Amino acid sequence: MAYLDNIAVFVRVVELGNLSAAGRDMRISPAVASNRIKELEKHLGVRLFNRTTRQLMPTEHGSVFYTGAKQVLDAVTEAEASVAALSGQPRGTIRVTAPLGLGRRLIAAGIPEFHDTYPDIEVRLRLSDHNVDIMKEGIDIAFRLGQLEDSSLKMRGILDCERVLVASPKYLERRGEPKTPQELISQRHDCLLLRYPGMREFYWLLQTNGVAAKYDVRGPFDSDDGDVLTGWALSGRGIINKPRFEVEPFIRDWRLKIILPDHPPTPIQLAAVYPHRKLQDPKVRLFLDYMAERCQRVIRETLAGR
């Protein structure tokens, strides 16, 4: 197993680009990760990485070895999954990612409950409003709000989520309440936007009589954290475009008010995205089934005020 462990560390270093990131991902220290790479290089008799101050780049030998090593690890994972399916005792590690707000409200709270039922399955959760590279970072399941762009991945739709434009009474008293989407632009309302490197959507899609149109809204500041935007809106700093289930408690207690109800944003789909072969793994399939049911239930209960 030591040699297989060394191979696993090598693969993660290639995928993540440095020892520290690979060590954190595998829950070992950078020193241990470094020693395992050295052991592997000694065994193979070649240097596997060119080392720079910030990143490790695979050598020609390293690139060739990575291709075969990844196939070996995938084969072992599939073999373990087959045994688990026969034994009825799924075990192992699942890597999961989700947007910050969604992950905090729906995914994180359900993981301990899932682990109580399946104690031999470890779940490693990464929350980020950035689009995580699923293949590069070895993610098993990514929960997303939006459309699938990478055709090499599979998607399972979970729920279509209503979106709303909301602002605090304090903001509306100060700036006035827009009556048409055009007023968001003509009156230069402060629209608070979710933006991060690689983000493509710098506009809002609003519907009028079922027909969607783009509005190039602007604001004095933006963030790559959706919950930061909600906090700004609550403090009277502007208008946000959010899935209704995320802001429903604030709407109910009158801290936020829905604006332009006749021109709602287009709905957004909550979905799970995963590499094609991952759903053959019983532990991945169990986790996805559990979380899909939980997300549907919690969202509906939130919207119903329960």
Looking at residue 122, its amino acid is E
Do residues 30 and 83 both lie within one domain? yes
Among 60, 88, 116, the domain boundary falls at 88
Question: Is there a contact between 94 and 233 (Cβ–Cβ < 8 Å)?
Answer: no
Whole-number pLDDT of residue 179: 94
pLDDT in tens, 179-213: 999 999 988 899 999 876 555 557 899 999 889 99
Which two three-digit tokens encode residue 119? Answer: 């104690």
128 pLDDT more than 70: yes
CATH classification of the domain holding 299: 3.40.190.10
Q: Which residue has the higher pLDDT, 265 or 6?
A: 265
pLDDT in tens, 226-259: 899 999 999 999 999 999 999 999 999 999 999 9
153 pLDDT more than 90: no
pTM reported for the whole predicted model? 0.72
Whole-number pLDDT of residue 100: 84
In this prediction, residue 299 has a pLDDT band, given cuts at 50, 70 and 90, of very high
Say how many CA atoms lie within 13 Å of 154 toward its Cβ: 12
Do residues 76 and 108 both lie within one domain? no
| Separation between Cα atoms, residue 48 and residue 56, nearest integer Å | 9
Which two three-digit tokens encode residue 280? Answer: 């053959």
Whole-number pLDDT of residue 149: 63
Do residues 124 and 242 both lie within one domain? no
Do residues 84 and 94 both lie within one domain? no
Whole-number pLDDT of residue 289: 93
Do residues 121 and 53 both lie within one domain? no
Do residues 217 and 135 both lie within one domain? no
Least reliable range by pLDDT among 11-20, 71-80, 230-239 = 71-80
Among 88, 118, 143, the domain boundary falls at 88
Average pLDDT of the chain? Answer: 86
SS3 call for 161:
strand
Q: Which residue has the higher pLDDT, 136 or 67?
A: 67
Do residues 228 and 137 both lie within one domain? no
CATH classification of the domain holding 77: 1.10.10.10
Whole-number pLDDT of residue 56: 81
In this prediction, residue 305 has a pLDDT band, given cuts at 50, 70 and 90, of confident
Among 88, 115, 135, the domain boundary falls at 88
Do residues 193 and 238 both lie within one domain? yes
Whole-number pLDDT of residue 197: 56
| Separation between Cα atoms, residue 162 and residue 248, nearest integer Å | 11
Whole-number pLDDT of residue 5: 83
- Number of domain units in the chain: 3
Do residues 178 and 218 both lie within one domain? yes
Do residues 101 and 8 both lie within one domain? no
Domain residues for the domain of 15 are 1-88
C-alpha 72 chain-centroid distance: 27
**DSSP summary character for residue 267:** P
CATH classification of the domain holding 237: 3.40.190.290
Do residues 226 and 295 both lie within one domain? no
Neighbours of 97 (CB within 10 A): 24
